[in-house]
Amino acid sequence: MSILIKNARIVSPGSKLNGTQKDILIKNGRIEKISNKISDKSAKMISSENLYVSPGWMDIGTCGAEPGFEFRETFSSLSKSAASGGFTSIAVFPNTNPPVDNKSSVQFIQNNTRDEVVDFYPIGAISKNCKGEEITEMIDMATHGAIAFSDGKKSLQSNGVLLRALQYAKSTGRIIINHPDDHSLSNGNNIHEGEISTSLGLKASPSLSEILTTERDILMAEYAESMILLHNLSCKESVDKLLKLKSSFVASSVSYLNLCKTDDSLADFNVNYKTNPPLRSEKDRKALIKGINQGAINIICSNHVPLEEEAKKLEFVYADLGATGLQTCFPALIEFANDIELEKLVECLSVNPRKLMGLDEIVIKSGEPVNLTLFDTNSPWTYNEQNNLSKSKNSPFFGHQFNSKIVGIINGKKSRFN
């Protein structure tokens, strides 16, 4: 099938075409032609009033649920949610049942997602059963396709395990992904320690739990001379540390929700804003945006954690941590984090994630394989349970009208349009 994208503004940092408005003709999974005006009556035409096109986006640390938790999410529903949110690739965390802690589990994901419109990249577990104790066969998993290593939503507490993991990962050319969080201090990450937690009378997570672990992870990576991604940072002090840091062994990411919202959102005990990391203060939110704009934070993630209703419809302190995020990540960023330029957003959603994962750069050029995200920055729509494509409903944005919309994705010979 041929696809003709009409009058789209190209957002591709570093490209000669960046900022230009073009027609793009796609045939047989490749870009056939880019020009000011193209006519092809046999092609499926894609147009929108404020249409943009960028290299396809990649989400790092997406929480799937298959195998073991198919009532939360299946490969199919995860792919549809990701595509609807503009992502052409997702690197999925290993926190399934059983966990992705051996080559067979890596191959299970690969074999069962080949036909999906979105590319799935398995992240192998660092420790067996993600318990943070015994190291997995990391080299074996890397050989069979694990793109990186992490215990996912479970932050590594053992210094020894982290150091050995960094050393093994270095030998495979893969990176370690860890969310810095000292469990002995974070009190279950119910809520950020601040005025809101005090007024609600809740046990809270101080920024210190992240600050100390961030410093540890940086020291470990530099000692091992091995790459680490500090995943989903949330506080000002972590950003301040990174702004001063000159290390080729440290990268960092942030959840889109921490760029968009603060702990004020929890004042009415909305459990769908109860996430890990917790939403922190406005001071922290502004510091995270500064970190993005100044290059201290490299990647923005959806922090997609699908959960069944029974895990969320509980008293606040007992509700599980997490919210879905794939479909709302980009429109929320445009609305609530508008201090970040569009080109920087694309850099953090596409260019940097792929580079860090060792994937080929996506080039918008005639003759190149096609991997594109299309979006409109002025096309109002309301997110609701009818257009929610996740099997789970734990989103804080149901009923919210966004002004920016994902038009669709094109990934090789596959495509999906909203």
Cis-peptide into 122, omega within 30 deg: no
pTM of structure: 0.96
CA-CA-CA-CA dihedral for 30, 415, 406, 251, to nearest 10: -70
Residue 121 has what pLDDT? Answer: 99
| DSSP-assigned beta bridge partners for residue 51 | 376
The fold for domain 55-356 equals TIM Barrel (3.20.20)
At 168 the three-state DSSP class reads: helix
Two tokens at 94?
């290993």
Asked if 103 and 144 touch (Cβ cutoff 8 Å), the reply is yes
Angstrom distance (rounded) from CA 30 to CA 2: 10
* Domain range summary for the chain, segments of one domain joined by +: 2-52+365-417, 55-356
| Beta strands 401-402; 381-382: pairing state | antiparallel
Angstrom distance (rounded) from CA 113 to CA 351: 23
CATH class of the domain at 2-52+365-417: mainly beta
Q: Would the CA dihedral through 58, 60, 63, 65 be positive or negative? A: positive
**How does pLDDT run across 123-165, given as a tens digit for each residue?**
999 999 999 999 999 999 999 999 999 999 999 999 999 999 9
**pLDDT values of the chain reduced to their tens digit, one per residue, 418 residues:** 899 999 999 999 999 999 999 999 999 999 999 999 999 989 999 999 899 999 999 999 999 999 999 999 999 999 999 999 999 999 999 999 999 999 999 999 999 999 999 999 999 999 999 999 999 999 999 999 999 999 999 999 999 999 999 999 999 999 999 999 999 999 888 899 999 999 999 999 999 999 999 999 999 999 999 999 999 999 999 999 999 988 899 999 999 999 999 999 999 999 999 999 999 999 999 999 999 999 999 999 999 999 999 999 999 999 999 999 999 999 999 999 999 999 999 999 999 999 999 999 999 999 999 999 999 999 999 999 999 999 999 999 999 999 999 999 999 999 999 9
- Annotate 66-129 with DSSP letters as a single string: TTT-TTT--HHHHHHHHHHTTEEEEEE-S-SSS-S-SHHHHHHHHHHHTTSSSEEEEEEPSBGG
